Amino acid sequence: MDVLTPRSLEQALRLKAERPDAVPIQGGTDVMVELNFDRARPAALLNLNEVAELRGWSRQNGRVWLGSGLTYAEAMERPLAEALPALAEAARTVGGPQIRNRGTIGGNLGTASPAGDALPPLLVCGAEVKIASVRGERIVPLPDFVVGPKRNVLAEDELILGVSVGGTESRQTFMKVGPRNAMVIAVVSLAVRVDGDLRAAFGSAGPVPTLVRAGLGDVDSFPQRVAEAASPIDDVRGTASYRRHALRILTRRALDRCLV
Amino acid sequence: MSEATVPKLELGRVGESLPRVDGIPKVTGEFAYSSDLQAAGMLWGHTVRSPHAHARVGTIDISAAVGMPGVHAVLTHEDIPGEKRYGLEFQDQPVLAYERVRYFGEPVALVAAEHPEQARRAAERIRVEYEPLEPLVDPERATEAEPLHPDRPTMGHGYRDDPRPNIVRSLVIRQGDPAAEGDVAVSGVYEIGIQDQAFLGPESGLAVPDGEGGVDVYVATQWLHVDRDQVAPCLNLKPEQVRIHLAGVGGAFGGREDLSMQIHGALLALHTNRPVKIVYNREESFVGHIHRHPAKIWAEHRASRDGRLVNVRVRILLDGGAYASSSTAVTSNAASFAVGPYAVDNALIESTCVYTNNPPCGAMRGFGAVQVCFAHEAQMDKLAEALDIDPIELRLLNALGPGGSLPTGQTITGTLPVADVIRRAAALDVPEAEELPRDPMRLPGGSGNTTRGEGVRRGVGFAVGFKNIGYSEGFDDYTAARVQLHADGSATVHCAAAEVGQGVANVILQVARTELGVRDVALAPHTTATVDSAGSASASRMTWMVSGAVRDACRAALEEWDKKGRSLEVDVERIYRHPRTTPLDPETGQVTGERAHVAYACAAMRVVAEVDVELGLTRVVWIGTAQDVGHAVNPQAVQGQIEGGTAQGLGLALMEEIQTRDGLITNASFTDYLIPTTLDMPPVVSELIEEAEPDAPYGVKGVGEPPTVVSTPAVVAALRAATGRELSRVPVRPDDIVGL
């Protein structure tokens, strides 16, 4: 297995075009699990850790730009955590400190798991994913980016540059249910934002994290609407009926938090 | 350096909180675990395992694997030079499957290659012809199904003759009048899921051929000599040609009593004449060892109006999985302790363990007492409610103690301060509820940020439990220790006791220093090569047994020195035995001699939990316990055992369960088999009740298991108090709390 380590974004895109079979790796918290369990043996890894353009975050015209190399630990730090509190709360639920130091937003988008913790907060904040290849750049709204369980719209020569999100400083929160009090994959998760309208996005309750919207007048019926929008399954982590039930409870509590 | 800053060098005798000898290397990462072993020219072994829970095995075609790059050996059952089956107590488990596989993950073939990846790739090329059979997965139907072991390997060992198919053992204990009526009766059905030992160090070891036909196996295990006695016949070697050496053990909890890679590694090493290392990955580890028996328990308690137990009737069904392992002893323990540490004149207890195609079960911390304690403590709370008596009062009223007897008819001759542990645990101050708002980390749901206090109810639970110390029912259990006194006044102790993290290395050193009166005592490597058996690091027995053996060997060595003169080297070995036990009567379940169990230890525990009743999430806030520990050899180590054992019981109460579908394990990872983190486990306030056990050296007792026995029911009792729900199954799922 080759490990390709570009030093710039330009090099990274060129390498990805030359070696479309190279699996991008940043923190490695998903990719290395697959390798260690012998579930994947890619011909090459594209190590993005040395690409400075993918790191950090910035404010841009009232929105926030998050580089794909932004770690969960960075998302928990002020002032970013104050601008995007739901994302910070979601980041806090990811793994242990070591995982949060390594895992990245870009990795969460690349893996596109129904349980990806960063995805519900990004969905309620209107995230747009910026993608690039040697052919050029394109912007895809997050709901269109994730197309199925662990599937996204990336072409084989494309890389995720980052996401642009709005909704900064709005009332928002994130909650995640697991059978222990830290270090769990979400049985079900929920982000809610109240800012002119009601927005909720859930994880682990359907094939993809899903956004639900309603008007401010629909506060009372919103928990039920969110639960009904879900299409959960029974699996080793929980039952479909519990997931639906929990979504109702979480949505009501989240609205209480955001409407005070 | 001023005098005050010079650390005071204690002698490190019995009774001192001496820091563990392996503590610093373990914390700094320098400690070599069995998976860290290396040898020049070493090959990597890999095990091919059954993807089926039950199948007939046809031809095994290894031809494509043999010629693969780096591959040095591909072995099947046909390559086993000796016995084709082994077992801890009954030889019912194939070294490598032939004719049929009986559980998911059963070993079928072996590969040795220069790189682990090459071994895995070769393993993928082995073609095994399976004819899948209907797996027997419902233990309640096992006695009506086709026998999985037509030769009935556990029959003819003095157990009750039960002709039904798939019986590992059934035991009936009848005492007094099993039909006796009380004024009040409560009943319940309880279920316990499959718990895993979930040790962090996976099964691993290194087998090294000695060039003379024999082999040295360095392995993480719990009983070196019984490993040797199982390995040698399969290799067709004499016991002394197989030497088992203890490698660094990353946790055991019963899961290393049965063999894992020992025979496989030795077969590959002898076949290739190269050292062979085998390390299971996490997924493989979940199928690579036995688990705690899942159980279903039907219980009825009858009592007089004033709260005295009149009659306890319990039926216990244990799922032993595909092979016997130590199931017969677990069956007996479950029966012996089914009533709990309470006096009752009349009892009818039926305990049955069956073979199925589910994951094999065997020893795990608490060994049969865990399952029944969950049931009898729920029953005691139910009874207290039915009688409108305080649950702690009810327990005190019925508490067993010295002079009392068990349903087996055995009189308690040693210490068993049940009433004392109840009173001391009940007297611990329960903390006030913390005010809101709080950091979410201090609420149910923790980092998940699911509540700011909404839906949160507080509950306090209480439980009492007990368990035997040592091997039972006539087993000739002993421990050897060998002491060398050197001319310079220092000493070396040889003992094959497995240090599995419980702290036995310190016990050995502390006893030797106490007896010899010198600080300079070295502990030789734990091995079968230089000393006789120490028995198993199991059954809360090791502290007691090792204390006796090391004490006796030290005293004999000093006597020898006095005779010979202190300028000479002295080298003596002594064997220690605990008081003899005898079997239970196969028909009545009553003792046939003075005792079937050696001794007992008990614990009481109080738990405060907060439960989010709308989401079914829990935060255990506080745990206080009082435990009967005998004379504590190392009080700090005792507290460590109490904390660790409590965490393991809390895990069973709240989250730990191996899930299966048609006998296949569906959550073989630490992503989906959850064990408690520091955010799930509160600090433990522990009171040590130090009553000297009259039959034991220095008055010691084992301490590792009682906390695990008692913490599961104590946690669930707190959940019941918070939710008002019956919660008759562990682990308690969020759905059970919410009522879905």
Taking only the tens place, the pLDDT of each residue in A67-84 is 999 999 999 999 999 999
| CB–CB contact A179 B674 (8 Å) | yes
User: Minimal Cα distance from B118: which residue of A?
Assistant: A38
Q: Is the peptide bond before B437 cis (omega within 30 degrees of 0)?
A: yes
- Within chain A, where are the H helices? 9-18, 31-36, 72-75, 80-83, 85-92, 97-102, 105-111, 119-124, 142-145, 222-229, 240-258
Last residue of a domain, one of B235, B270, B287: B287
| CB–CB contact B445 A175 (8 Å) | yes
User: Minimal Cα distance from B284: which residue of A?
Assistant: A37
Q: Which amino acid is at B530?
A: T
pLDDT higher than threshold 70 for residue A124? yes
CA B674 to chain centre: 18
Q: Does residue B709 form part of some domain?
A: no
Are B24 and B48 within one domain? no
Q: Does residue B409 form part of some domain?
A: no
Report the residue from B441, B619, B671 with minimal CB separation from A185.
Answer: B671
What ipTM does this complex have? 0.96
| CB–CB contact A180 B674 (8 Å) | yes
Report the residue from A93, A237, A245 with minimal CB separation from B448.
Answer: A93
For B328-351, write each residue's pLDDT tens digit: 999 999 999 999 999 999 999 999
**Residues of A whose CB is below 8 A from B452:** 253, 257
User: In this structure, what CATH number is given to the domain that contains residue B543?
Assistant: 3.30.365.10
Is residue B389 within 8 Å of residue B353, measured between CB atoms?
no
Measured in angstroms, the CA of A191 and the nearest CA of chain B are apart by 11
Name the band, by pLDDT with cuts 50, 70 and 90, for residue A168: confident
In this predicted structure, what is the pLDDT of residue A169? 77
How many structural domains does chain B have?
2
In this predicted structure, what is the pLDDT of residue B10? 63
A and B: number of Cβ contacts within 8 A: 97
* Burial class for A9, CB neighbours closer than 10 Å (0-12, 13-18, 19+): middle
Report the residue from A174, A179, A253 with minimal CB separation from B655.
Answer: A179
**Residues of A whose CB is below 8 A from B679:** 180-182
Query: What is the arithmetic mean of pLDDT over B690-715?
Result: 98
pLDDT higher than threshold 80 for residue B114? yes
Would residue A169 be called left, alpha or beta, if left means φ above 0 and alpha means ψ between -120 and 50 degrees?
left
pLDDT higher than threshold 70 for residue B355? yes
Q: How many Å from the N-terminal Cα to the C-terminal Cα in chain A?
A: 54
DSSP helix, strand, coil percent of chain B (3-state; round to 5): 25, 25, 45
Give percent above pLDDT 70 in chain B: 99
**Residues of B whose CB is below 8 A from A113:** none
Query: What is the arithmetic mean of pLDDT over B510-525?
Result: 95
| CB–CB contact A179 B615 (8 Å) | no
Q: Does residue B689 form part of some domain?
A: no
Query: What is the arithmetic mean of pLDDT over A22-36?
Result: 96
**Residues of A whose CB is below 8 A from B446:** 180-182
Query: What is the arithmetic mean of pLDDT over B96-116?
Result: 98
pLDDT higher than threshold 70 for residue B255? yes
User: Minimal Cα distance from A177: which residue of B?
Assistant: B448
Are B105 and B45 within one domain? yes
Cα A260 from Cα B251, distance rounded (Å)? 49
**Residues of B whose CB is below 8 A from A253:** 450-452, 454
| CB–CB contact B447 A256 (8 Å) | no
Name the band, by pLDDT with cuts 50, 70 and 90, for residue B4: very low
For B421-463, write each residue's pLDDT tens digit: 999 999 999 999 999 999 999 999 999 999 999 999 999 999 9
Is residue B645 within 8 Å of residue B705, measured between CB atoms?
yes
| CB–CB contact B449 A178 (8 Å) | no
Query: What is the arithmetic mean of pLDDT over A89-105?
Result: 97
Q: Does residue B216 form part of some domain?
A: yes
**Residues of A whose CB is below 8 A from B282:** 37
**Residues of B whose CB is below 8 A from A187:** 734
**Residues of B whose CB is below 8 A from A185:** 671-672
Domains of chain A with bracketed CATH: 171-258 (3.30.390.50)
User: What SS3 class is residue A223?
Assistant: helix
In this predicted structure, what is the pLDDT of residue B2? 40
Q: Which residues pair with B674 in a beta bridge?
A: none
Report the residue from A93, A183, A239 with minimal CB separation from B677.
Answer: A183
Q: Which residue has the higher pLDDT, A169 or B368?
A: B368
Q: Pick from B599, B648, B190, B180: which is nearest to B376 by CA?
A: B190
User: Minimal Cα distance from B734: which residue of A?
Assistant: A179
Is residue A20 within 8 Å of residue A135, measured between CB atoms?
no
In this predicted structure, what is the pLDDT of residue B565? 87
Are B528 and B571 within one domain? yes
Judge whether A63 is closer than 8 Å to chain B, CB to CB.
no
**Residues of chain B with a CB closer than 8 angstroms to some CB in chain A:** 117, 120, 281-283, 441, 444-452, 454-455, 614-617, 619, 654-655, 659, 666-667, 671-672, 674, 676-677, 679-680, 733-735, 738, 740
**Residues of A whose CB is below 8 A from B672:** 185, 236-237
Collect contacts of B583-588 with beta carbons under 8 A, ≥24 apart: B583/B158, B583/B473, B583/B474, B584/B171, B584/B173, B584/B332, B584/B408, B584/B473, B586/B158, B586/B159, B586/B160, B586/B161, B587/B160, B587/B172, B588/B172, B588/B173, B588/B174
In this predicted structure, what is the pLDDT of residue B8? 47
| CB–CB contact A93 B659 (8 Å) | no
Is residue B481 within 8 Å of residue B509, measured between CB atoms?
no
Are B505 and B570 within one domain? yes
Collect contacts of B565-571 with beta carbons under 8 A, ≥24 apart: B566/B487, B567/B487, B568/B487, B569/B484, B569/B485, B569/B486, B569/B487, B570/B483, B570/B484, B570/B485, B571/B482, B571/B483, B571/B484, B571/B485
Is residue B293 within 8 Å of residue B371, measured between CB atoms?
yes
| CB–CB contact A249 B615 (8 Å) | yes
Helix (H) / strand (E) element for B641: namely: helix B635-654
Q: Is the peptide bond before A79 cis (omega within 30 degrees of 0)?
A: yes
Q: Pick from B212, B242, B241, B216: which is nearest to B228 by CA?
A: B242
Q: Does residue B436 form part of some domain?
A: no
pLDDT higher than threshold 50 for residue B3? no
pLDDT higher than threshold 70 for residue B7? no
Q: Pick from B176, B227, B46: which is nearest to B588 by CA?
A: B176
Radius of gyration of chain A (CA): 18
Last residue of a domain, one of B536, B557, B577: B577
Q: Does residue B415 form part of some domain?
A: no
For B389-420, write each residue's pLDDT tens digit: 999 999 999 999 999 999 999 999 999 999 99
Give the global pTM.
Answer: 0.97
Query: What is the arithmetic mean of pLDDT over B155-178?
Result: 95
| CB–CB contact B738 A242 (8 Å) | yes
Q: Which two structure tokens, joined as six digits, stand for B538?
A: 């199991």
**Residues of A whose CB is below 8 A from B448:** 93, 175-178, 181, 184
Name the band, by pLDDT with cuts 50, 70 and 90, for residue A156: very high
For B256-305, write each residue's pLDDT tens digit: 999 999 999 999 999 999 999 999 999 999 999 999 999 999 999 999 99
- Within B236-310, where are the H helices? 262-272, 282-288
Q: Which residues are within 8 A (CB) of B216 and not within 5 positions of it... i.e. 6 or more apart?
A: B207, B208, B210, B243, B245
Are B25 and B48 within one domain? no
- Tell me how many degrees the CA angle A14-A19-A20 measures, rounded to the nearest 5: 100
Is residue A47 within 8 Å of residue A72, measured between CB atoms?
no
Q: Does residue B562 form part of some domain?
A: yes
CA A172 to chain centre: 16
Q: What is the DSSP letter of A43?
A: S
Q: Does residue B609 form part of some domain?
A: no
Give percent above pLDDT 90 in chain A: 96
Q: Which two structure tokens, joined as six digits, stand for A192?
A: 């809610």
Are B7 and B72 within one domain? no
- Tell me how many degrees the CA angle B178-B181-B184 measures, rounded to the nearest 5: 130
Cα B270 from Cα B35, distance rounded (Å)? 20
User: In this structure, what CATH number is given to the domain that contains residue B214?
Assistant: 3.90.1170.50
Q: Which amino acid is at B384?
A: A
In this predicted structure, what is the pLDDT of residue B109? 98
Last residue of a domain, one of B577, B608, B638: B577
Are B110 and B209 within one domain? yes
Q: Identify the domain containing residue B521 by its residue range.
A: 3-29+478-577
Q: Which two structure tokens, joined as six digits, stand for B536?
A: 């198993």
**Residues of A whose CB is below 8 A from B735:** 238-239, 241-242
Q: Which two structure tokens, joined as six digits, stand for B547?
A: 């204390």
Q: How many Å from the N-terminal Cα to the C-terminal Cα in chain B?
A: 67
Are B7 and B127 within one domain? no
